Every structure is written in structure tokens, then in C-alpha cells.
């Protein structure tokens, strides 16, 4: 499961998350992931919601706009400064902390969102345990992570030996290889297995199909936007049914009884 050194990066930033060239599949995947996760949280005006690994607090702000009492937590001082600038005078609360030691009382939160962050944590299992303890009985955790056994990753790995022969000097990181700041290489079965230690899984779904597959983004960029959007939307429908092949896995669960 581990892919790199376990450590806490207290000044992590997201400058390298988005590539220099953004293709239609990347735009679709990021937008669709945010849409699916926020809709699954389904916050109302009285719920206390925590966004773990909030980064710039983009999702936390959306939760607040939907009526939730939103709190964003991140270990990075740099990202929290960016978040403070982004949220302005909104009522989102920002807290510096790590997922492995959440600074909240037991059973004080209604819902928790962890989008694209769990595989950055030094100890994802410990983080899941902490999440289950600070949620109230019947509360919900919504977790979304990249799937490194997606159809796209499988195609990329199959194509790599051929691409290596064509461009022998290429040593760049490939989409099917987890970035250095990832501590885990999640796939659907591994993620579900970890979550089930502390949560009863209520729903598992997938987001997007073929994101970053070889040449896929370039092909889509040559098509009219409505055509590429229609294709991506159709593939996303397949991803919802077969999350093991999807680009992003989203899980909703409730804490198991103590």
C-alpha cells in the first residue's frame, strides 16, 4: 500500500496538481468529482460538516453556501493561507491539523468530507478511525480517492513498453504512477477494505472513465466541445456502475458501533 516516505508536509501546496496543459477529460473529471461528492454530502442548514485535507477550502465554501456549518482542516500552513484568502468573509472555519489526530470532541460532527486527500496522509487507517470517532452515531463520511487500478491506468501500463521504445529518453512520471506526495496506491477493493474497518459502507460509486489514458485528452481536444462532453458523460455513466474501473472512487459510510 505504501508508495513513499510517511511524513507530514506542513507546507504542502497544490501547484503541481493541475498539469500545464489541461485537456477536456481533466476538466470533466475534476468538475464531476466535486459535483458527485457535494451532492452525496447533501448538507442541510443545521449540520456540522468537516472537510479533511481542505486545501484552498473550495469544497468547504460550497458546503457553507448550501447551508452547512463548514469547517476546513489542513496540515499545510501555506494552503490554509490560500484558503483564508479564497473564502473571504464567509462563515467557513479553518483549522490546522492532521487527519490522524483530529482536534474535535467525540460525536460532535454530522458529516465528514475527504476528497482527494486520504492517499496523502501518513496513516490513512488511523485517519479513518479518527473520522469514525468524531462523527455522531448515524453520521456520514464521504471519501473520494483516485483509483490506480482504473481502466485508464491499466491501459497506460500496457502502452508504456511501446512508448518507451519510441521515446527512450522519457523519464517523466506517468498517470498510473502515484505522485511522490502520495503514501498509498488505492484501488477499489483496498479502499473498501480499509473503510470497512470503521464504517458500514452505504454506497460506492465511480466517477469518470479513461481520464489520462494515452492520447485520450488530445483526441478529445480536437472534437467539438459538445461532442467531447457527450462522450465523457456517457463514460461517466459506465464508471458509476463499475467503480473498480473508474478514475475516481467515492464511498459513503456510517460509523460502526463502538
Q: How many helices (H) and strands (E) does the chain have?
A: 8, 7
Q: Which residues of 109-127 are buried (b: 16+ CB within 10 A; e: fewer)?
A: bbbbbbbbbbbbbbbbbeb
The pLDDT of 103-108, averaged and rounded, is 96
pLDDT in tens, 68-78: 999 999 999 99
Nearest Cα neighbor of 53 from 1, 95, 16 is 95
137 exposure class (CB count in 10 Å sphere: 0-12, 13-18, 19+): exposed
Dist CA 197 CA 12 (whole Å): 29
pLDDT in tens, 221-235: 999 999 999 999 999
Domains of the chain, CATH where assigned: 24-255 (3.40.50.150)
| Percent of the chain at pLDDT exceeding 90 | 76
pLDDT value of residue 179: 79
pTM, 2 dp: 0.90
Dist CA 27 CA 30 (whole Å): 5
pLDDT value of residue 162: 80
Q: Partners of 141 in the beta sheet?
A: 112, 253
Amino acid at each position: 500500500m505504501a508508495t513513499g516516505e510517511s511524513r507530514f508536509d506542513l507546507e504542502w501546496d497544490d501547484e503541481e496538481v493541475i498539469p500545464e496543459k489541461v485537456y477536456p477529460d481533466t476538466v470533466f473529471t475534476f468538475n464531476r468529482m466535486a459535483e458527485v461528492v457535494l451532492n452525496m454530502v447533501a448538507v442541510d442548514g443545521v449540520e456540522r460538516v468537516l472537510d479533511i485535507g481542505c486545501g484552498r477550502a473550495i469544497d468547504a465554501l460550497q458546503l457553507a453556501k448550501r447551508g452547512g456549518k463548514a469547517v476546513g482542516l489542513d496540515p499545510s500552513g501555506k494552503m490554509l493561507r490560500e484558503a483564508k484568502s479564497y473564502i473571504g468573509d464567509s462563515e467557513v472555519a479553518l483549522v490546522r491539523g492532521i487527519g490522524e489526530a483530529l482536534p474535535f470532541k467525540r460525536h460532535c460532527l454530522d458529516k465528514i468530507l475527504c476528497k482527494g486527500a486520504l492517499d496523502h496522509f501518513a496513516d490513512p487507517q488511523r485517519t479513518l478511525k479518527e473520522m469514525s470517532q468524531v462523527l455522531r452515531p448515524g453520521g456520514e463520511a464521504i471519501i473520494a480517492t483516485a483509483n490506480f487500478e482504473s481502466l485508464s491506468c491499466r491501459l497506460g501500463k500496457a502502452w508504456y513498453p511501446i512508448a518507451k521504445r519510441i521515446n527512450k529518453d522519457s523519464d517523466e512520471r506517468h498517470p498510473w504512477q502515484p505522485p511522490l506526495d502520495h503514501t498509498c496506491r488505492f484501488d477499489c477493493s483496498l479502499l473498501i477494505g480499509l473503510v470497512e474497518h470503521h464504517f458500514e459502507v452505504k454506497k460506492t460509486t465511480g466517477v469518470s472513465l479513461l481520464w489520462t489514458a494515452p492520447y485520450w485528452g488530445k483526441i478529445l481536444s480536437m472534437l467539438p466541445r459538445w461532442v467531447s462532453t457527450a462522450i465523457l458523460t456517457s463514460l461517466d455513466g459506465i464508471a458509476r456502475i463499475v467503480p473498480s474501473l473508474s478514475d475516481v472512487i467515492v464511498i459513503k459510510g456510517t460509523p460502526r458501533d463502538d
